[in-house]
Amino acid sequence: MVAELSALQQIVNSLTGLNGLPPVIVQCAVTTIYTSLGGFKVSFITDNIQGAMVVGLIIIGCITVGVKTEVQRDLIDKSGYLNASLLGWQLIYILPVAILTNDFFLSGFWMRTFAAKTDKDLYVGVGLATGAVAVILTLVGVSGLLAGWSGALGDPPEQSSIALFLLLEQLPAWVVGIVLVMVVCLSTAAFDSFQSAMVSTGSNDIFRNRLNFWYIRAAVVLLIFPVVVVALKSPSVLQIYLISDLISASSIPVLVIGLNDRAYAWRGFEVVVGGLGGLFTVFLFGLVYYDGDVSSAGSLLLLEQGLYANDWSAFGAFVAAPVGGLLWAAAAFAGRLGVQWFLARMRREPFTALDKPAAPSASFYTGRPSEEAVRDVYTDPEGVERSDVQIKGKFF
Same-domain status, 164 and 180: yes
- CB of 310 closer than 8 Å to CB of 86: yes
Average pLDDT, the chain: 83
- pLDDT of the residue at 392: 60
- pLDDT of the residue at 367: 47
- CB of 243 closer than 8 Å to CB of 47: no
The single-letter code of the amino acid at 17 is: G
The single-letter code of the amino acid at 129 is: A
Mean pLDDT of 360-384: 53
Same-domain status, 248 and 297: yes
Residue 186 CB neighbour total at 10 angstroms = 23
What pTM does this model have? 0.77
Same-domain status, 220 and 284: no
The single-letter code of the amino acid at 61 is: G
Round to whole Å and give the CA distance between 85 and 81: 9
Same-domain status, 136 and 265: no
Round to whole Å and give the CA distance between 306 and 98: 13
Q: Domain of residue 112: give its range.
A: 1-234
For residues 149 and 254, which has the higher predicted lDDT (pLDDT)? 254
Round to whole Å and give the CA distance between 325 and 270: 9
- pLDDT of the residue at 378: 66
Same-domain status, 21 and 107: yes
Task: Report the chain's C-alpha Rg in angstroms.
Answer: 24
- pLDDT of the residue at 361: 47
DSSP letter at 171 equals: S
Nearest to 57 by CA among 180, 238, 146: 180
Q: Is 222 exposed, middle or buried (0-12, 13-18, 19+ CB in 10 A)?
A: exposed
Integer distance in angstroms from the first to the last C-alpha of the chain?
32
Same-domain status, 275 and 212: no
- pLDDT of the residue at 200: 77
What torsion do the CA atoms of 191, 194, 195, 197 make, to the nearest 10 degrees? 160
Round to whole Å and give the CA distance between 130 and 205: 28
The single-letter code of the amino acid at 349 is: E
- pLDDT of the residue at 170: 77
- How far are the Cα atoms of 130, 136, 329 from residue 133, in angstroms, in the given order? 5, 5, 33
Same-domain status, 199 and 240: no
Same-domain status, 199 and 254: no
The total domain count for the chain is 3
Same-domain status, 19 and 107: yes
Round to whole Å and give the CA distance between 250 and 301: 11
Round to whole Å and give the CA distance between 266 and 394: 9
Name the domain boundary from 234, 265, 292. Answer: 234
Residue 136 has pLDDT above 80, yes or no: yes
Same-domain status, 205 and 351: no
Residue 253 has pLDDT above 90, yes or no: yes
Same-domain status, 171 and 181: yes
Mean pLDDT of 3-27: 86
- pLDDT of the residue at 55: 84
Same-domain status, 207 and 131: yes
Nearest to 47 by CA among 162, 132, 143, 141: 132
Name the domain boundary from 219, 234, 249. Answer: 234
| Alpha helices (H) in 150-236, listed in sequence order | 163-168, 173-200, 213-233
Q: Is 34 exposed, middle or buried (0-12, 13-18, 19+ CB in 10 A)?
A: middle
Round to whole Å and give the CA distance between 189 and 272: 31
- pLDDT of the residue at 369: 46
- CB of 195 closer than 8 Å to CB of 220: yes
- CB of 103 closer than 8 Å to CB of 95: no
In this predicted structure, which of 97-111, 117-131, 305-319, 368-382 has the lowest mean pLDDT? 368-382
Q: Give the β-pairing of 385-386 and 378-379.
A: antiparallel
Please list, residue by residue across 229-246, b when 16 or more beta carbons sit within 10 angstroms of its beta carbon and e when fewer do.
eebbebebbbbbbbbbbb
User: What 3-state class would DSSP assign to 329?
Assistant: helix
- pLDDT of the residue at 318: 96
